[in-house]
Amino acid sequence: MAMSNFNRPTPEDEAFDHIEQMNRVKKAFEEEMQRRAKTQQQFYDQLRNGVIDEVTVEIQKMQGFGKDTLDSFAVFVRGMKK
């Protein structure tokens, strides 16, 4: 069944529909980016915890201390994570 000219969308209607669709896509994208975004504190804590992990690996490689002492140092330093 053919559409009458009365029911057929105009180019302007199609353009508005396209703009509305693009706005919905943009809004969904922005909401997803906001959900994924880290706060400044979360970023700092993640960076800090990475450095603490690196320090504990190096502590355990140290010479001149017993294994139990080095393990105790490593546990102490790991306890500084946030």
The band of 53, judged by pLDDT with boundaries at 50, 70 and 90, is: very high
At residue 29, the pLDDT reads 93
**Whether pLDDT at 71 is above 70:** yes
pLDDT at 7: 80
Instruction: Give me the mean pLDDT over the 7-17 stretch.
Output: 89
Q: CB within 8 A of 59, min separation 6: which ones? A: 70, 73, 74, 77
SS3 3: coil
Helices 40-59 and 67-78, packing angle to 10 deg: 180
Residue range 14-39, pLDDT digits in tens? 999 999 999 999 999 999 888 888 88
Supply the pTM of this predicted model. Answer: 0.54
Tell me how far apart the alpha carbons of residues 74 and 58 are, in angstroms, rounded to a whole number.
9
- H helix intervals, 1-82: 11-36, 40-59, 67-78
Per-domain residue ranges of the chain: 13-78
Contacts of 34-39 with C-beta under 8 Å, sequence gap 24+, read: none
